[in-house]
Amino acid sequence: MFLHGTSRVNEQGHLEIGGVDVVELAKTYGTPLYIYDVALIRARARAFKEAFRRHGVRAQVAYASKAFSSIAMVQLAAEEGLSLDVVSGGELYTALAAGFPPERIHFHGNNKSWGELAMALEHGIGCIVADNFYELELIENLAESSGRTVPILLRVTPGVEAHTHDYILTGQEDSKFGFDLHNGQADEAFRRVRASAAFQLLGVHCHIGSQIFETAGFVLAAQKVFAKLAEWNKAHGFVPAVVNLGGGFGIRYTEEDDPIPVEAYVDCIVEEVKKQAAACGLPLPEIWIEPGRSLVGDAGTTIYTIGSRKEVPNVRTYIAVDGGMSDNIRPALYGAKYEAVLANRMFGERTEIVSIAGKCCESGDMLIWDIALPEAKPGDYLAVFCTGAYGYSMANNYNRLPRPAVVFVENGEAQLVVKRETYEDLIQYDLPLKTKVKK
């Protein structure tokens, strides 16, 4: 059985998460419903932090809030002593509204607006991860008008692109993010930043991809970054206080996925950074990472109610649920694969192969192809695992489906942390037509 964290099967044959019966949750809060196993999120956060502590190095583990941003989630990240990566005014606003310590917020993005940067500066956030020359200009102007010095990291593109099972070297990286390390852009950015009193250059940042299952890409990225830092040190005496190697640590969505434990990523990153810093004659910088998926991905489960069934003789059987690409766009967008069970019949024998369809008006709205399940009837509950990252955060109102609620469960207790949208919510910003047609 494919169970994560505190998930188990109870005496009634129901799926239980965080000591709470999922069928009860579905009845209380309705479906579709996102359920987060808080203990699992805490365990992951602690595993990352503990791994750095064991090495005795200074580090920050910044939760990439794009994976799932809400007031309660940000507060949980704060409780666990994480830092926070935000990529927009909206994520920043959420963090500030949640009372997250501004000095532990890092602001990302390839097109931050004047307004977003002004908001970040006004609240004294920890650092801005500067992405391009236009942004440097905006920050400089803002800093001058407010008399502030702005702590920044330069986001560099190391020419390493990691995929799930491998990594490639792309010489001149074709990416919309960051300053290229190889074509002189990173050097130019470094010169500009160092020449201006507006900036306090803390160090560099890079992020090589997502759902990465091996360490080689991180090692390679660290090598590239340090080669540049060594040059800057030699030529300009620059000593980096921080090296941020981004996120992207893989998780197990299906049996086919075989991720390494979070400690293994940290061990490899710390060892390589130590080695590189020593080789370059640099003091060991603070090491920052930005996990999103690996903190919340497998802690999230989505519960749906099963509705219609369509049998196409000799082809396949479609089972439809009351959500779909509106609450999980990843299968449609990336061909992402998921595991699922009937949450109210966990002991049921998996006697048929079916495909799980969403309810959106689009043939591509399929959640899972060809999964073995007990014979599903209308009213059964389908639990889809590992939907905690980029599920709710990429949810949308296609076909005017209201976005689901989110519940946190821990130690036998459930807590609603995001309310379900209502039909009234859906039309709240709509304004009536000013009719020009005479009656």
Binding residues for pyridoxal 5'-phosphate: 248, 290-293, 390
Q: Is 290 in the site for ligand LLP (CB under 6 A)?
A: yes
Q: Which is nearer to ligand LLP, 217 or 247 (CB)?
A: 247
- Which tokens is 238 given? 């620059």
Residue nearest to ligand LLP (CB): 292
Q: Is 330 in the site for ligand LLP (CB under 6 A)?
A: yes
Q: Is 44 in the site for ligand LLP (CB under 6 A)?
A: no
Cβ-count burial 252-275 (b if 16+ within 10 Å, e if not): bbeeebebeebeebbbbbbebbee
User: Does the annotation count 361 as an active-site position?
Assistant: yes
Q: 411 CB contacts (<8 Å, ≥6 apart)?
A: 18, 19, 39
What's the Cα-to-Cα distance from 284 to each of 14, 62, 236, 237, rounded to whole Å? 50, 19, 18, 15
* Residue of 31, 70, 215, 294 interacting with ligand LLP (CB under 6 A): 294
Could you tell me which residues are annotated as the binding site?
A: 248, 290-293, 330, 334, 362, 390
Angle in degrees, CA 115, 119, 120, rounded to 5: 120
> Which region, judged by CB under 6 A, interacts with ligand LLP, from 97-105, 216-224, 288-296, 356-364?
288-296
Q: Which long-range contacts (CB under 8 A, 24 or more apart) does 418-424 make?
A: 418/34, 418/70, 418/72, 418/392, 420/29, 420/30, 421/397
* Residue of 18, 32, 126, 291 interacting with ligand LLP (CB under 6 A): 291
* Residue of 292, 331, 358, 388 interacting with ligand LLP (CB under 6 A): 292
Site for ligand LLP in 224-263 (CB under 6 A): 246-249
Q: Is 207 in the site for ligand LLP (CB under 6 A)?
A: yes
Cα–Cα distance measured from residue 100 to residue 84, given in angstroms and rounded to the nearest whole number: 8
Q: Which is nearer to ligand LLP, 61 or 376 (CB)?
A: 61
Could you tell me which residues are annotated as the binding site for substrate?
A: 293, 330, 334, 362, 390
* φ/ψ (deg, to 5) at 305: -100, 135
Catalytic residues: 361
What residues line the site for ligand LLP (CB under 6 A)?
64, 67, 85, 108, 207, 210, 246-249, 290-294, 330, 389-390
